């Protein structure tokens, strides 16, 4: 089976509000815009390129009233720095009942959509996930 996610859709009474925020937050480009819909694509391409899903912001008549059933988890290089940057763009820290022991920060975009900013991965975690192959070997060679 060849099945890919085309878009992650975000409902809003004013799609421009969350689209403006996420365009700046992610550095994605606006590739389509009409009165009721705005599409953001990652810099490297779109789902047609096999890169990642677009974000599609769709106008709906009703306001958001409850916690999102689906949200984005963002993994920055520096969590504290990224949270501060996102706050400057209009996001806010929120509590959805998470305890003080969690390693992520729950935030909401200017339209109230929740998302999480995760902690940065340590070098050994990056290597274990295959994101930086041979990192420990390179570090060992540099030290020796």
**Would you give per-residue pLDDT tens digits along the chain (144 residues)?**
778 788 999 999 999 999 999 999 999 999 999 999 999 999 876 656 666 789 999 999 998 888 888 999 999 999 999 999 999 999 999 998 888 889 999 999 999 999 999 998 766 665 666 665 444 444 444 444
75 and 59 assigned to the same domain: no
Number of domains in the chain: 2
In a domain, 121, yes or no: yes
In a domain, 138, yes or no: no
pTM: 0.80
- Domain span holding position 36: 1-63
In a domain, 23, yes or no: yes
In a domain, 10, yes or no: yes
126 and 71 assigned to the same domain: yes
47 and 85 assigned to the same domain: no
H or E element that contains 84: helix 79-89
């Amino acid at each position: 089976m060849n099945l890919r996610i085309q878009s992650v859709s975000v409902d809003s009474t004013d799609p421009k509000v969350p689209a403006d925020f996420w365009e700046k937050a992610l550095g994605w480009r606006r590739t389509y815009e009409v009165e009721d819909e705005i599409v953001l694509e990652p810099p490297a391409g779109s789902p047609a390129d096999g890169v990642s899903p677009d974000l599609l912001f769709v106008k709906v008549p009703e306001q958001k009233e409850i916690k999102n059933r689906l949200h984005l988890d963002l993994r920055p290089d520096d969590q504290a720095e990224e949270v501060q940057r996102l706050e400057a763009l209009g996001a806010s820290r929120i509590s959805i009942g998470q305890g003080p022991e969690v390693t992520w920060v729950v935030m909401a975009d200017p339209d109230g959509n929740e998302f999480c900013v995760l902690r940065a991965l340590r070098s050994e975690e990056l290597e274990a996930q295959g994101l930086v192959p041979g990192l420990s070997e390179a570090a060992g060679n540099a030290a020796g």
